[in-house]
A and B are shown apart, each in its own frame.
Chain A
């Protein structure tokens, strides 16, 4: 099996080299670009499995590049930014990036994020398509690109990364029973959260957050099998 090829778009030469070395040591094939022109060239020449894109680039900014790439190709993108703010993260994800990594990052974190995004892409037949929507269920609205959940009253509801992944797993399999083992597999696909909480704890937290005024959360336990989201999901 050929190793996945990662395209690193980064204007700082030393950081580019160091990132490349770290990825190679972890079994990835690497291509390098310092700005937009080289990136387009690399995309034309060969198969790229994932782009590691710095937001602050000379010439065309990473944000514009991301938008342009998204119009042509569903290749997964991870933003690298020197800004650590949450607002930036949300904007990056909304533009179609698959994840967002703030500088400075360590090798372990970088590799884990890349693997998670690649695995997620592999799980779906058409990568990127699933995340392109806003889903409604039982009055709630899940904005998948921004990774945000809005309650029936219109309030933003904070979810941890693992909880959001779990919710996405439920939304993808609405009104179907999901076995516990399958849920663990699905929600581990993304490492938004480094916790090792058991799936039952995550489900109970998600239930607590999804409980409305007097109403119980629309997640039921199917004894001996797993869990089920018992309301229909609509695309918006």
Chain B
């Protein structure tokens, strides 16, 4: 069981992301706090001083001159106005309460002037405006020209600061990916080798960091060794097959000149058995060196043919199923597998039935059923193992090494199918081959 994993690259990027995020968050917090406090204090003091001066000046002037003076008091930073009426006062924002406190703290005399502050937002930026009373009850109004820092601005700065962080993530991700690339190539090659697809050597180029190069070299050496072993074994087997069959052929021809029919037939049977053993061994171990490609085959006719062939040799084998069914498979392999099943059925029973059931357009079941004694339930799995012969003690007439069903299992596995053996309720064995994706 493999636990899902984000992989080395994912982990490294995650660590980088975490580090950058923390660094960013901490510095932003510190910077924001410091700048906010100082700027606001600073602005509050300046505003307080300006208001004190403006109030004093306006207080000293007669009402008629006050609008003009107010205009003179208007600076680059503050707009100052004068009126006799109280303007409508909107709900006061809490932030302005704290700013008012700051102003009053700095100039306590302003506390007695009924000073009010409010945040007005004529455009995208918010501005602080307010008013306070003069000694005669008229109003001095003021407005800061410069907008206060708003959340929009803060967000903009966050994004601005994030851009290099994100760019950094991508760059470092790509760099780490480059470092890990050889490791990934190696993993793919090892996976292929593990699934036995790397018949020809998949030499992985030695690249990347020292450790990865080291592992790659070790892997290459290992797979070269495995490849050599398999090649040697296959070649040795093919040679054995060849070298055994030639003396068998000699023996066969020699046996034909024996006059005593009984001896001749006995030797003939022995030779046949030996040939069957050599064939099954070579088929099982791949010594024939065949690499068959799947091709579109009429499986129904293949099955019907097996029944016809057996019937022609005087055996009772029937085929039940459709007349035609096309599917894509290695047809010589499948023929060999089905032949093995039919031979098994006829070895233990008298009658056999080959049934082809089309489940879906691309899934099919082939059953070979006999009327023999079946297999003890506890041995149903065991007989699929190579070199297992259940009847070794009971019956000596079995031909071969006990590879028949193992070859079937292997052929079926190569087609992505399943082989199951079961005892029929009415007696006898049922071998079922299920091919779930036989059209692709």
Contact = CB atoms under 8 A, between A and B. Distances in A.
A104 B326 contact: no
B176 interface: no
Given A15-B253, A87-B290, A157 B246 contact: no
Interface in A48-104: 56, 82-88, 102-104
Interface stretch (B104-112, B148-156, B297-305, B366-374): B297-305
Interface in A99-135: 102-108
Interface residues of A, number: 40
Nearest to A102: B245
B288 A82 contact: no
Interface stretch (B204-212, B220-228, B307-315, B419-427): B307-315
Contacts of B313: 195
Interface residues of B, number: 41
A205 B305 CA distance: 9
Contact of A104 (B252, B290, B331): B252
Q: Which of A85, A154, A211 has the most CB of B within 10 A?
A: A85
Contacts of A211: 323-324
B323 A82 contact: no
A201 to B, nearest CB: 9
Contact of A103 (B249, B257, B324): B249
Q: Is the interface of B mostly helix, strand, loop or mixed?
A: helix
A10 B313 CA distance: 32
A104 B256 contact: no
Q: Is the interface of A mostly helix, strand, loop or mixed?
A: loop
Interface string A137-173: 0000000000000010111111110000000000000
B24 to A, nearest CB: 63
A14 interface: yes
Contacts of B292: 87
Contacts of B386: none
A156 B248 contact: no
Interface in A1-40: 12, 14-15, 18-19, 21-22
Contacts of B246: 12, 15, 82, 103
A197 B292 CA distance: 32
Interface of A: 12, 14-15, 18-19, 21-22, 56, 82-88, 102-108, 151, 153-160, 193, 195, 197, 205, 208-209, 211-213
